[in-house]
Structure 1
Amino acid sequence: MVAPEDDPRRVPRLAGTTPSAGSGRFSHSDRTGPVLGRSGKVLRYRVAVERGSGADVGSFADGVHEALVGPGSWVDGGRLRLRQVPGATGHDFTVYLATPRTAGRMCAAVAVDIRVEGKPYTSCRGPGRVIINLERWRTSVPHYVRAGTPLAVYRQYVVNHEVGHELGHRHERCPAPGRPAPVMMQQTLFLHGCTPNPWPYLDGRRYAGPRR
């Protein structure tokens, strides 16, 4: 059982320190998940956690599933379905949970600089790779925390944002102050008057903002 102080549905961030680096090698979940979505092409994804990060691959897989199953996730459009497959199985993309240093290296390898003030801060996507920064997975971001937004909401956002890039979506802007932030807005860095929102679909309809 998860203690209340460690339940991402209840707290805005987890206590304790985040390892800055791990082994650089990954353990993959051996789970085969259900098909998510009602219609469209099935994209298969794997889930992997860096060894030495202190994170559990099963728990991370649960978090990724919660983000992608919705309601409100990318599968709600009816044009694609998603399914987790084991690490040794053919796949379309992999969702990695990596320590900041490893995430920084993986993102730099696809020409994405995730540093803020010189430190690996954000997450990123490269072809076939969704790379989630462990520090953000554990501690969210200051503006989410100040608003008391549960960590689970940030996790849903960061998965749907980076998977959105894998699906070909680009960054968007806040449509108006007080409106929900589009999932493709860089909510890790700012909200610009919008409110936190982890979903690409709201009330069954695609919700988007102006292109950056």
Structure 2
Amino acid sequence: MIGSYHTSTSPTGAPGPSATPENPPAPAQPAPDGAPADDPAAASGPAPGPTAESTADPAGAAPQKDVTPEPVPQSGSGQVRVAQFTRAAPAEQQGRRVRVRVEVENEMPVDPDQVATQAATILQDKRSWPSKQKVRFDFVGGGTHDLVIRVLTPATTDKRCYPLRTNGRVSCSTGSAVNLNGHRWTGGIPDYAGDLTGYRTYLVNHEVGHYLGLGHVECPGRGQPAPVMMQQTYGLDGCARNPWP
């Protein structure tokens, strides 16, 4: 998945006072959101309320057929490559404009433009947040942005998500940044075995949902679709996996 990249010399930055993880460590008290985006020009979106979610990897998890063959390093430099991919939201999508930038830590064996293309495909899909809220997502490459989506090594994710304990395993939404743990992005979870694209869709929609101000919800009942703001990485609790709002 390695390709040619544009490299930013900006570090991912120091963590801010709060965080909303896609999955935190087991039953610690929730911590609020907030590591600021490293670009001072970035406009902040609504900060989510105090929520937290985490999971340990279940023993004996089945390997996923579409997992990247490249190993994910545990830590990196904090320096990022910036995706140059740009795409405006579909014309029929109306509402508040959110300009999205995508970054990948230098040591991650992931192409930033591939991540940006996938994130745009998710967030500009009619099943995503534009169908639920008056919002649209424009992917702006290295331009001025409101939201940054990052794929980071586990150690850098922990730094960006502090003081929430992500334990080198999980992701978080921090103010105007979504910090995706590289292990999750490349490997998914057992409940989405064989469907890494589906898990990435859930992960992006879930964390951007926090950016939009939404908190966690529970499984509504056995066999029903899991809400995207459910902590699906914990497990589905009898719900059917579902990556869309």
TM tier relative to shorter chain: 0.7 to 0.9
Distance 1:25 1:154 in 2: 26
Q: Runs of 4+ in structure 1 displaced over 6 angstroms? A: none
User: Quick one: which amino acid aligns to residue 171 of structure 1?
Assistant: H
Q: Note the 1:141-152 alignment, pairs <5 A.
A: 141-145=189-193, 148=194, 150-152=195-197
**Does 2:183 align with 1:128?**
no
Distance 1:95 1:156 in 2: 13
2:230 pairs, out of 185, 200, 208, with 185
Structure with larger RCO (C-alpha < 8 A, sep 6+): 2
1:25 pairs, out of 73, 79, 83, with 79
Relative distance call for 1:78 and 1:184 in structure 2 (3 A) is closer
CA shift, 1:193, in A, is 0.6
* Contact 2:85 2:117 survives alignment (8 Å): no
Seq. identity, %: 37
* Contact 1:157 1:183 survives alignment (8 Å): yes
* Contact 2:191 2:241 survives alignment (8 Å): no
Normalized per residue, the structure richer in helix is: 1
CA shift, 1:166, in A, is 0.3
Normalised by the size of structure 2, how large is the TM-score? 0.70
* Contact 1:28 1:47 survives alignment (8 Å): yes
The aligned residue for residue 11 of structure 1 is: 65
* Contact 1:38 1:78 survives alignment (8 Å): no
CA shift, 1:180, in A, is 0.8
User: Quick one: which amino acid aligns to residue 194 of structure 1?
Assistant: C
The aligned residue for residue 170 of structure 1 is: 215
**Does 2:127 align with 1:68?**
no
Which string of whole-angstrom CA distances, capped at 9 and with x for unpartnered residues, describes residues 132-188 of structure 1? 11100111012222xx4x100000000000000000000110000111110001111
Relative distance call for 1:191 and 1:32 in structure 2 (3 A) is same
The aligned residue for residue 155 of structure 2 is: 101
* Contact 1:98 1:131 survives alignment (8 Å): yes
Which string of whole-angstrom CA distances, capped at 9 and with x for unpartnered residues, describes residues 11-42 of structure 1? 35334532212221111112321224621111
Relative distance call for 1:16 and 1:55 in structure 2 (3 A) is closer
Relative distance call for 1:24 and 1:195 in structure 2 (3 A) is same
**Does 2:183 align with 1:138?**
no
Distance 2:88 2:145 in 1: 15
* Contact 1:124 1:130 survives alignment (8 Å): yes
- Aligned alpha-carbon RMSD (Å): 1.8
Q: Which runs of 5+ in 1 are unaligned?
A: 2-9, 201-212
Distance 2:67 2:183 in 1: 10
User: Quick one: which amino acid aligns to residue 99 of structure 2?
Assistant: R
CA shift, 1:77, in A, is 2.6
**Does 2:141 align with 1:86?**
yes
* SS of structure 2 residue aligned to 1:188: helix
The aligned residue for residue 55 of structure 1 is: 110
